[in-house]
Each structure stands twice: as C-alpha cells, then as structure tokens.
Amino acid sequence: MRYFKYIRSLMLAGLSAVILTTSAVYIEQAEAQPTQTLQAAASSTNKVYQVSPLMVVNAPSSYLNKTVLMKAKFDKFSTLGLDYKPAFRSSDDYISFLIKRDDTTHDIPLSEMKLFLTRTEAEKFIDLKTNDEVEIKGVVFSDALGDTWVDVKQLTITKKAPDTDDNNGVK
C-alpha cells in the first residue's frame, strides 16, 4: 500500500511539473505576442502607399491609418471639414485645403478628400496658387461620411503653375 502511495505522489509531482512547464510556455508566448504585434504594427505604419487621390477616395477604409503619398494639383485653402465631431480637427489648430480632381477636364475640387495641415505648417505655404503641383504625404485618419480624412505630414511643391493675369491669360 505504501508503495502505491509513493508512486501516486511521484505521478502527481510529475503531473504538476508538466502543468507548470506547460503554463510557463504559454505565459512566455502570451508575453511575446504583444511585442510581435507591436513590431508588425510599427512596420505597417512605416510603409508608405504611393497612390492617386482618386484611389484613396474610392476606398477610404482600405487606407485607414495608413500613410499615403499622392501627387495632385492644389486648388485652394478651405475650412471644409473643420470642427466636424466624428473626425475632429479644430479650426484653431488646422486649416484644410482642396486639390483638383484628375479624372475630368473641368476645374472641379476633390471635395470628398479632406486634407488637414497644421496652421503653423500652412503658413509656410502662403504663396501656393491654384494649379501648383504638390506632393502630399499624410495619414488617413478617418472615413467618416464615406469620405477620406487625411492628416498631412508633409507637403511639397513640385511645380509652380504659370502666372496668369486678370483676363485668364498667361503673363
């Protein structure tokens, strides 16, 4: 009888060791997983998607929280989309601007895309004119109303539009 108690205690001890070892392995895996997830998230946020503005407008949720790089023609500074609660950007801190649609021969702004620039950054571009070609690097932060909402991180003028006189002719 004593022999059976001894074997039983050895078996329980062995079983406890297996359970503890297995638990330790799962704990290590669970602790390692957030790091892997954070690393994957960090690498995806470093990726820049070079796209046309219309590609983003046609599928804003596909680019949500992603960095995009777009080439466009500047239209004008605006207040469009500012202070809208679901995708809030304060008019005290930001200015928005419009770019032109590139799928038409008419001068139509791409109002489905809300582009936000901090006011301090916008002051550097006070001389931007309609039809100046720009490169926009930003993060799509919302798809509220089915539109594209972009925090512009970098704005670069790639080509100045020709000067025009008051009669819509080139100087």
- CB-CB contact of 157 with 128 (8 Å): yes
> What's the CA dihedral at 74, 124, 149, 72 to 10 degrees?
20
Q: What is the pLDDT of residue 41?
A: 46
Both 31 and 64 in one domain: the answer is no
Q: Domain range holding 136?
A: 48-159
Percent of the chain's residues with pLDDT above 90: 65
Does a structural domain hold residue 68?
yes
pTM of the model as a whole: 0.70
Does residue 64 sit in the same domain as residue 31?
A: no
Q: Please give the tally of structural domains in the chain.
A: 2
Give the H or E element holding residue 41: helix 2-46
Mean pLDDT, residues 56-76: 97
Is the domain of 134 the same as that of 154? yes
